[in-house]
Amino acid sequence: MSILAQAVVTEWTETAIRTVVGFALLSGLVATVVAFGYRVVSARALPVGVGLFAGLGVVVGRLNAVGLGRSTILDGTPLVHYATAAYFLGVIAASALSAEGGRRVGDRIARDVFDIERLGATGEIAALVRSARLPSVVRLPDRIDDAAGYPSVEPSIKRDLAGSTVLLPQVDTHSALRTRLSSRLERDYDLGHVSITVGADGAIDRLAVGGTRSGIAATIPPGTVAVSIRGEPAPAVGAGDPVEVWASAEGSSRLVATGRLWATDGDAATVAVDADAVDRLGTEPDARYRLAARSDPPDDGFRLLAALRAADGTVRSVTVDDGGSLENVFVGWVPGTVLAVVRDGEVRPFPADNLTLRAGDDLSVLGTVDELRSVAPDGRS
């Protein structure tokens, strides 16, 4: 009897092992095919969870189909039996391991066949870049020049930039490369100006950087001048707010001019006023004025005027289409300068670079003809 039982157990075990191996091979094959196709279509690796789901889904579906049609699962073993439970656990474990192996094999085969480079960068920023598209790796020149007409930057900044590599969203034109690289360097290194020369092969031939200009002439609207006076603004008044300039004489006050507060330093204030109001402010060293807030709400109009005057380009209105090239793209990645984003009726002037665009957003983009062509290649605006 014991010999017969041993023979039965051995036969059942061999059958179970063969079946487990068969299911594992099926799971690995399915995961390999899915991983291969996903890498070819998206140029990205198949997520681990998706690979396991694809491989185990076929195996579990097969087991359920067999179990629902019969009261036994393997060589007469009842469904409610410890041997059946051990068999199920073995199938699931082996199939899961095989699915992960198949996912890696399929991904490797696709990368070798289609020559797809695997990204070496890691971290949150790299994940955000991969979520949009494959990045462009840009290598900066070994020598960094000074931009003419701009203050020199710190030598340490030049050393950090020289010979370094920068990951950018994928670009199609040299103009888009210059725009995105300039915006990236200006933001990361607090630069005032970046001049880039791109060679015919797409490499950066020359890079010149400059510091931020300290003057305010480019931000002063036409027909106005900036005047420095002695006076204390109201506590709630800040730079950019519209103000009234009042002069006190013989116990009375009179309105001298209206303008916009540009900067304060102690009891000294810089105010932008109309050109014909300069003579009314007086030039006596001991003259003092009182600054009061006007009822006009502050806005970003002066920033818009400064950007328009400093830029060599035009403005175009662009709508983000559902599934278009601008959907799910950061504002900082859009070629040119995004002056405003209109979303759900709300106007957001000069939006942050990390704002993600959504379908239906209306953009006002300032840029050159090449930049605007890359934003709306079909000419729609």
Query: Does 239 lie in the same domain as 181?
Result: no
Choose the final residue of a domain: 171, 186, 210. 210
Query: Does 13 lie in the same domain as 66?
Result: yes
Is 303 part of any domain?
Answer: no
More confidently predicted of 301 and 40? 40
Of the ranges 108-122, 185-199, 259-273, which one carries the lowest mean pLDDT score? 108-122
pLDDT at position 182: 87
Of the candidates 123, 169, 172, which has an alpha carbon nearest to the alpha carbon of residue 328?
Answer: 169
Is 369 part of any domain?
Answer: yes
Query: Does 340 lie in the same domain as 269?
Result: no
pLDDT at position 64: 80
pLDDT at position 140: 92
Query: Does 129 lie in the same domain as 198?
Result: yes
Structure tokens at 25: 């091979």
Is 224 part of any domain?
Answer: yes
Structure tokens at 42: 């998206």
**Is 70 exceeded by the pLDDT of residue 304?**
no
The amino acid occupying position 259 is G
In sequence order, what DSSP letters do the residues of 324-338 get, joined into one string? STTTT-BGGGSSSEE
Residue pLDDT, tens place only, 248-291: 766 667 788 888 887 777 777 888 888 777 777 765 556 778 88
* The model's pTM: 0.34
pLDDT at position 25: 92
Is 240 part of any domain?
Answer: yes
Average pLDDT over residues 186-191: 86
Is 164 part of any domain?
Answer: yes
| Cα gap 318→334, rounded to integer Å | 11
Residue pLDDT, tens place only, 25-69: 999 999 999 999 888 887 788 888 888 899 888 888 888 877 666
Q: Indicate the pairing of strand 242-249 with strand 289-293.
A: antiparallel
Question: Using an 8 Å Cβ cutoff, are 189 and 157 in contact?
Answer: yes
Q: How many residues does the chain have?
A: 381
pLDDT at position 2: 47
Indicate the Cα dihedral angle 155, 157, 163, 166, nearest 10°: -170
Query: What is the pLDDT of the chain when averaged over all its residues?
Result: 78
**Total tally of structural domains belonging to the chain:** 4
151 falls in which pLDDT band (50, 70, 90)? confident
SS3 category, 151: coil
Residues 301-338: b if buried by 16+ CB within 10 A, e if exposed = ebebebbeeeeebebbebebeeeeebbebbbbbbbbbb
Question: Beta partners for 77?
Answer: 74
**Is 90 exceeded by the pLDDT of residue 77?**
no
Is 300 part of any domain?
Answer: no
Is 68 part of any domain?
Answer: yes
Choose the final residue of a domain: 246, 261, 293. 293
SS3 category, 247: strand
Is 32 part of any domain?
Answer: yes
Average pLDDT over residues 171-195: 84
Q: Residue 348 is part of which domain span?
A: 311-375
